[in-house]
Amino acid sequence: MPRDLLLEVRSVNKRFGGLQALQAVGIRIERQQIYGLIGPNGAGKTTFFNVITGLVRPDTGAFELEGRSYEPTSVHRVAAAGIARTFQNIRLFGQMTVLENVMVGRHVRTHCGALAAVLRTRNARREEEQIRRRSAELLEYVGIGRFGHLQARALSYGDQRRLEIARALATDPKLLALDEPAAGMNATEKIALRGLLERIRSDGITILLIEHDVKLVMGLCDQVTVLDEGRIIKDGTPGQVQHDPAVIEAYLGRSHVPA
Amino acid sequence: MKLTPSGKDQHRHVALGATALVALVLLALPLVAGWLGPAWVRTLAFAALYVMLALGLNIVVGFAGLLDLGYIAFYAVGAYTFALLASPQLTENFPNIARAFPEGLHVPIWAAIPLGAGIAAAFGVLLGAPVLKLRGDYLAIVTLGFGEIIRIFLNNLNEPINLTNGPQGITLIDPVRIGQLRFDRSWSIWGLQLTSLQLYYYLFATLAVLCVLICVRLQDSRIGRAWVAIREDEIAAKAMGINVRNVKLLAFGLGATFGGVAGSMFAAFQGFVSPESFSLMESVIVLSMIVLGGLGHIPGVILGAVMLSVFPEFLRHTVGPLQNQLFGRILVDTEVLRMLVYGIALVVIMLYRPKGLWPAPLHGTAPRVAPSTPAQPPVGA
């Protein structure tokens, strides 16, 4: 089924001193896919992720979003281009309220500056009202609407992850990039997360996912890329990847590869 | 069906009442202080100036989380800008300017204040640009150096061209004049005799209220949220599409603007500026005000500024006479005592109220909330 390409990344190389963290890594993500990026610890998943979102500068690489090339040279431009991300170790604005956290996410899609805010122009008031309404909607959407007035750091771990997703969604992303969203979640929370991600996808947003939980990845993703030691060792559907000898070797060691 | 006033209406009534009360107190204060003596009115005027300074520094340190130890430099820039624009300093030293302004250089305040604010803002951006990547201690050191550089420049720019008149400072600065109203004389209105000090107080209080309004509106805006986001987590803020460089420069620039306005008012009020008014100690005192009051929380910042600016005057009027009565002479100079008490107060505050006297309501007081999964029923229920 040919669908249109959302993100294409080609031949990314990144070296940290003596370590070749990424070697000729590339992916193609189609619209409305849930795309998994897996691999053992230290495989380079997060580095690749950081390269795509502009946090780490690659040595080489070509990037295209919706057919237009973009240079991931600064994080805020990548966000403006339409890639929003969450973080492996949750990075919320701890002293702001839950609602305000999401409102910050609207920053990149709104325009009123300091002068408009001081004069409280009609535009500024309308925009502020829209920001507030949209943010409250997003909180409801991820299921933490009733916590809007609380301080972000007072939320439980699973809800903090949801808040990060709501905040990222507030930037109206085309691609939502999640760095280990299920880390530290219990089984119930994981099921709920899975439901949420499927709902986000069905609402037209493409998802790129780094995840350790193989069960979650295999059940959720349409397409998976497996990284090991900075190289792609396999990409394909979860079924194809699951039985690939190279993947099994990377995860479990050579003795587990079926003869 | 009987309509009861909704919560929002009630809230609005309370807010209106509070505003009216504050306005009444602000209006009545100098009249009351006038009975006690002119020194108190003067203290009140300075308190209003310090409120402006504290609010400006609060934008940089409290909102955006950028520790600035050289903030008083912007106060100095504003003061010297006003001094140069409204005193004989330039006409005496530069014949070209004297020829251009045969009646002397007397820039009116509606032009001098914006110029002072604008030049201070430019210096704010000038300081901000090279320190964008610095945080915490490193930023503090650089800003401290900046503050000293400005002061040393002011101290030494009497050669080769005499711009600032060096350590002697600039004298004969014009007082504030609005239309026919001269702020250096008393003025009677409605049978009320207002002294020069009281007039200045009203002017400064008006400007301070304006600063409060600007800060409040900025805080609840897209820009204010971006500042706090940067303070809380710079990388996450970038990932939300915030242009951290611009937003930080805006914080530096706006903070400096407040300092510049306060500085130009200071120059007009004193009629005299010299570098020693802008020492590192002043930066530290303004920083103490906002830390003591409650970093990032506007009411707290105002409280801190008023307390620390009125407090020395209070000491002078109580401890001095007390020592005279007890010992027949002044044993410990109140200036020394002031620093001692400042130090003790700050240590005590940091020990018992580390978020300040009047911190933002969210700081640490939000209830630890139950997780989203339903809570277990209590055992035995």
Contacts of A118 in chain B (CB under 8 A): 213-214, 217-218
pLDDT confidence of A249, banded at 50, 70, 90? confident
Note the pLDDT of residue B370.
44
Q: Is the dihedral of CA B19, B250, B257, A95 positive or negative?
A: positive
CB contact under 8 A, A96 and B369: no
Report ipTM (2 d.p.).
Answer: 0.91
Contacts of A143 in chain B (CB under 8 A): 372
CA dist A186 → A10, A158, A191, B119, B349 (Å)? 36, 8, 9, 57, 42
Contacts of A97 in chain B (CB under 8 A): 362
C-beta separation of B221 from A112 below 8 A: yes
- How many other CB atoms are found less than 10 A from the CB of residue B89? 24
- With a cut of 70, list the residues of chain B below it in pLDDT: 1-8, 362-381
The phi, psi pair for A68, rounded to 5°, reads: -105, 135
C-beta separation of A252 from A228 below 8 A: no
CB contact under 8 A, A147 and B239: no
Note the pLDDT of residue A126.
94
Closest partner residue to A120 among B217, B223, B367, by Cβ? Answer: B217
Q: Which residue has the tokens 């500056």?
A: A113
**For residue B85, what are its two tokens?**
């624009």
Q: Which residue has the higher pLDDT, B82 or A70?
A: B82
CB contact under 8 A, B240 and A107: yes
Mutating which of B60, B215, B362 best tests the A interface, going by the most A Cβ atoms within 10 A?
B362
**For residue B15, what are its two tokens?**
């807010």
Contacts of B248 in chain A (CB under 8 A): none
Closest partner residue to A96 among B221, B228, B369, by Cβ? Answer: B228
Provide the residue type at A245 as one letter: P
C-beta separation of A150 from B369 below 8 A: yes
CB contact under 8 A, B238 and A120: no
Degrees, nearest 5: CA angle B214-B236-A73: 105
Chain A contact present for B244, CB below 8 A: yes
CB contact under 8 A, B226 and A104: yes
Residue of A nearest to B221 (CA): A117
- How many other CB atoms are found less than 10 A from the CB of residue B140? 18
The phi, psi pair for B347, rounded to 5°, reads: -65, -45
Note the pLDDT of residue B364.
40
Q: Which residues of B155-164 are buried (b: 16+ CB within 10 A; e: fewer)?
A: bebeeeeebb
**Phi-psi sector, B264: left (phi>0), alpha (psi -120 to 50), beta:** alpha
Closest partner residue to A95 among B232, B369, B371, by Cβ? Answer: B232
Closest CA–CA distance from residue B309 to any residue of chain A (Å)? 27
Give mean pLDDT, residues A177-199.
Answer: 90
Residue whose C-alpha is closest to residue B186's, from B205, B203, B199: B199
Chain A contact present for B373, CB below 8 A: yes
Q: Which helix (H) or strand (E) holds B181?
A: strand B181-182
Mutating which of A118, A149, A179, A188 best tests the B interface, going by the most B Cβ atoms within 10 A?
A118
Give mean pLDDT, residues A41-49.
Answer: 89
Give A124-150 pLDDT, tens digit per residue. 999 999 999 999 999 999 999 999 999
Closest CA–CA distance from residue A132 to any residue of chain B (Å)? 11
CB contact under 8 A, B229 and A144: no
Closest CA–CA distance from residue A80 to any residue of chain B (Å)? 6
Residue whose C-alpha is closest to residue B87's, from B331, B355, B268: B268
A60: β partners? A13
Note the pLDDT of residue B373.
44
CB contact under 8 A, A96 and B222: no
CB contact under 8 A, A95 and B214: no
Contacts of A151 in chain B (CB under 8 A): 362, 366
Total-model pTM = 0.89
- How many other CB atoms are found less than 10 A from the CB of residue B167? 12
Contacts of B233 in chain A (CB under 8 A): 91-94
Identity of the highest mean pLDDT range in A70-74, A250-254, B206-210? B206-210
Residue whose C-alpha is closest to residue A145's, from A130, A135, A131: A135
Residue whose C-alpha is closest to residue A220's, from A249, A247, A190, A244: A190
* CA–CA distance, A210 with A221 (Å, rounded to integer): 11
Note the pLDDT of residue B98.
86
Note the pLDDT of residue A259.
56
Q: Which DSSP string corresponds to A208-247?
A: EEE-S-HHHHHHH-SEEEEEETTEEEEEE-HHHHHT-HHH
Total beta-carbon pairs less than 8 A apart between chain A and chain B:
131
Average pLDDT, chain A: 90
Q: Which DSSP string corresponds to chain A?
A: ----EEEEEEEEEEEETTEEEEEEEEEEEETT-EEEEE-STTSSHHHHHHHHTTSS--SEEEEEETTEE--TTSHHHHHHHTEEE--SS----TTSBHHHHHHHHGGGG----HHHHHHT-HHHHHHHHHHHHHHHHHHHHHT-GGGTTSBGGGS-HHHHHHHHHHHHHTT--SEEEEESTTTT--HHHHHHHHHHHHHHHHTT-EEEEE-S-HHHHHHH-SEEEEEETTEEEEEE-HHHHHT-HHHHHHHH-GGGS--
Note the pLDDT of residue A124.
92
Q: Which residues neighbour B290 within 8 Å (Cβ) at sequence distance 6 or greater?
A: B54, B57, B58, B61, B62, B300, B301, B304, B305
pLDDT confidence of A247, banded at 50, 70, 90? confident
Contacts of A130 in chain B (CB under 8 A): none
Mutating which of B222, B231, B363 best tests the A interface, going by the most A Cβ atoms within 10 A?
B222
Chain A contact present for B214, CB below 8 A: yes
Q: Which residue has the tokens 């409605």?
A: B190
Closest CA–CA distance from residue A226 to any residue of chain B (Å)? 25
CB contact under 8 A, A107 and B250: no
CB contact under 8 A, A96 and B224: no
